[in-house]
Amino acid sequence: MTGDRMKFPKINFKIPKLSVKMPKIKLPKIKSPKNLIPAVVAVIAVAIIAAFIWGKTTETGKAFMDKLPEKANLFLQDTVGKIPLLSRFVKKKAEEAPVEEMPEEKILVKAYKAARRDFEDSLPSLGTIKGYREMNLKFEINGVVDSINFREGEEIREGDIIASLDQYDALLKLKYAQLELDKTKKLFEIGSIIKSKLEQSELEYESAKSDLDKTYLYAPRDGVLGTRDAEVGEFVTSNDKVVTLIDDTDVFAEIGVIERDIGKVKVGQNAKVFVDAYPDTEFKGKVDNVSPVVEGRSRTQGVKIRVRNTKRLLLPGMFARVLADIYSKENAIVIPNTALNKDEQGYITFVIHKTEPEEKETPEEEEGFAEEIGEPGTVEARPIIFEYRSSDFSVIKEGLEEGELVVVETQEKLQDKMNVIITEVQEQFL
């Protein structure tokens, strides 16, 4: 069998087929990438929480947290602090952190030093000089003006004849009455008429005589004549004004007081009157009359101030400036109105109590403060009651003593017990 190949019989193996059925897994269909956002956020949140817990409970984590930037560390604490179960870690950390006390800021203020002094308040007003008495003179009967015996502004005495009417008719009537009276007397003497006829004639004569006398216009008192309203040859009636008689030994300064100040002016108050003709002269007067009504158009109350005018310097029609003394008090405590503050209970003022300045610990702290800004102090919100209040100042009745400092100007709103720096102290207001 040398050289011959050994032949092996062919063996056929049939491997049976195994069929395994795998279960089908249905994956969710992602319709849009937006559906992944909640899952991603949840994963990030879990990672942040795990990192925070790791950083708080392990030494390696604490070392890692300390190396994080400050903003990242604050972000982690703020995020985890909103979770109720983990917020205690953040609170504990916050409690352990030292709190730095901020120095209290001192407010700069200007002060006024209260002092006792005499106080007066005047009400300024504008007006016109008028005669103390002004009378419109008229004839008692109708007639034609025959003569005018005066010039405007001329001084006259009581009884002077100012003007006269044409007397022709009056003289005729008087002459006729005189003749009738003479005839009646003769008849009465011989017994031809009764006494009543004689008396009638006497009355007619007196009437004619009176009519003649009425053709004269007499001055009823001393004074100055104003503008005349009639001329020679003009026919006038008993209703026509011929001239105005002015009594200028005293004059009135008539002013109008606005509604806001009506209650301040009273009869008997002193006043000062000034006119442009005599700018350096002060004429003293008193409130003589206050009108009981307010005029409709001007909404003012008429006030008359009587001024003595013995030198006849003040002429009716002059423009006048008046200062009425509406309030005065001696030895009063007065403060500016800027020191008053209104609250729910009334008025308060901030009284300054001075304090000792704090000592500087090191020279470095004094750099930049070569000069002191002012004296330090603490304010007290004190209620006050004022007796009188003008447009600028108030007279204090209760709540303030002489020499105390009150705040009159500040750039910030003050409250009780605040610290302040006094930059200026005012002591005079007049």
Give tens-digit pLDDT for 262-284: 888 999 999 999 999 998 999 99
Determine whether 133 is exposed, middle or buried from the number of CB atoms within 10 Å of its CB (0-12, 13-18, 19+).
middle
At 369 the pLDDT is 38
Separation CA 106–CA 110 (nearest Å): 13
At 16 the pLDDT is 52
What does DSSP say about strands 419-426 and 375-389: parallel, antiparallel, or unpaired? antiparallel
Residues of the chain with CATH 2.40.420.20: 108-117+331-359+373-426
At 260 the pLDDT is 87
DSSP lists the bridge partners of residue 224 as 155, 246
Give the amino acid at 387.
E
**pTM (predicted TM-score):** 0.54
Separation CA 198–CA 177 (nearest Å): 12
Tokens of 103: 């120095």
Q: Between these two residues, 429 and 75, which has the higher pLDDT value?
A: 75
DSSP lists the bridge partners of residue 353 as 378
Q: What angle do CA 223, 227, 233 make, to 5 degrees?
A: 110
Report how far Cα 419 is from the mean position of its chain's Cα atoms: 31
> What mean pLDDT is reported for the chain?
80
Query: Quick check: helix, strand or coil at residue 32?
Result: coil
Q: Between these two residues, 286 and 429, which has the higher pLDDT value?
A: 286
Separation CA 147–CA 136 (nearest Å): 18
H or E segment to which residue 78 belongs: helix 70-81
Tokens of 66: 């300390």
DSSP lists the bridge partners of residue 347 as 342, 384
| % pLDDT > 70, the chain | 72
Closest CA to 332 of 14, 120, 93: 120
Close Cβ partners of 54 (under 8 Å, ≥ 6 residues apart): 61
What does DSSP say about strands 107-113 and 419-426: parallel, antiparallel, or unpaired? parallel
Of the listed ranges 187-201, 207-221, 282-296, 371-385, the least confidently predicted one is 371-385
What does each C-alpha distance from 382 to 107, 339, 385, 407 come to in angstroms? 18, 11, 10, 11
- C-beta neighbour count of 309 within 10 angstroms: 20
Separation CA 121–CA 127 (nearest Å): 19
DSSP lists the bridge partners of residue 407 as 111
Separation CA 283–CA 281 (nearest Å): 6
414 pLDDT tier (thresholds 50, 70, 90): confident
Close Cβ partners of 58 (under 8 Å, ≥ 6 residues apart): none
Q: Between these two residues, 51 and 86, which has the higher pLDDT value?
A: 51
Tokens of 272: 């000062």
Separation CA 81–CA 71 (nearest Å): 15
13 pLDDT tier (thresholds 50, 70, 90): very low
DSSP lists the bridge partners of residue 410 as 109
Start-to-end CA distance of the chain, whole Å, equals: 156
Separation CA 430–CA 120 (nearest Å): 10
Tokens of 317: 């029609």
Determine whether 396 is exposed, middle or buried from the number of CB atoms within 10 Å of its CB (0-12, 13-18, 19+).
buried
Separation CA 100–CA 108 (nearest Å): 25
Closest CA to 250 of 292, 201, 304, 321: 304
**Contact yes or no for 284/323 (Cβ under 8 A):** no
For the residues 199-208, what does the mean pLDDT come to? Answer: 90
Separation CA 178–CA 229 (nearest Å): 35
**CATH, domain 108-117+331-359+373-426, list 4.10.320.10, 1.10.3720.10, 1.20.1440.230, 2.40.420.20:** 2.40.420.20
Q: Is the pLDDT of residue 61 over 50?
A: yes
Tens digits of per-residue pLDDT, 308-365? 988 889 988 899 999 999 998 999 999 999 999 888 888 999 999 988 766 554 444 4
